[in-house]
Amino acid sequence: MIRVLVVDDDFMVARVHRGFVDRIPGFTTVGVVHTGADALTRIEELRPDLVLLDIYLPDLSGLEVLRRLRETGDGEGPDVLAVTAARDVSTVRTALHGGVVHYVLKPFTFDVLRDRLERYAAAYGRLAGSTDVDQAGVDDLFVALRTTNAPLPKGLTADTSALIAEAMRASDADLSASECAERIGLSRVSTRRYLEHFVTAGKAEVRLRYGSAGRPQRRYRWIG
């Protein structure tokens, strides 16, 4: 599980964000705080993997919290995902220089946060258990972190895309286009177009399974 600390000065917003995080498989909220000072204290106590950090806090700004984490950290501190209404370029630049993994503008929907957290989880998983990576691995890591929703190609719809994405998320194993199509009641050809789009967008990966004869089967796995 990826352990998350939620930091937001608004009690109701913090509660909503905690609910969002806890709905996403692989993530759990370990704490909620409402000030910068409490954030630094709880980070030291809880050692979360990821901090959802608001910029506008009543004492220290989120940017100051980020700066102190980076100055006093030993390289083993938490990753930070900024969740804020701050839209000015100076704040965005400072957050990027501070090493945030993403910057999400309020207000946002559950689907937006889920997309960013699934991408973070995919990148997190790529590093787990590794001691070094090659250039291709580094490229994949940054694509997983930075790429957001790609526009749908002509002929594909958002509703069907969401339906197929949910079927992929619900599967514990990889799926062929035929297997996925059967689950949602769509043709194999149409389903495969969506699956290939997910691969292009970095949300799914495809593997070839070789049988005893004929062409290898393309199998798809959701990676967020």
On whether the CB atoms of residues 153 and 173 are closer than 8 A, the answer is no
For 75, the token pair is 């390289």
Which ranges of the chain does DSSP label H, i.e. alpha helix?
A: 11-23, 36-46, 62-72, 89-97, 110-127, 135-146, 158-170, 177-184, 188-200
CATH architecture type of domain 2-146? 3-Layer(aba) Sandwich (3.40)
3.40.50.300, 3.30.70.260, 3.40.1000.10, 1.10.10.10: which CATH number matches 158-222? 1.10.10.10
pTM for this entry:
0.67
The residue ranges of every structural domain in the chain are: 2-146, 158-222
- For the chain (length 224 residues), average pLDDT per consecutive 10? 96 96 93 97 95 96 94 78 93 91 90 86 71 68 58 82 89 92 92 89 83 78 82
Task: Tell me the backbone φ, ψ of residue 91, rounded to 5 degrees.
Answer: -65, -45
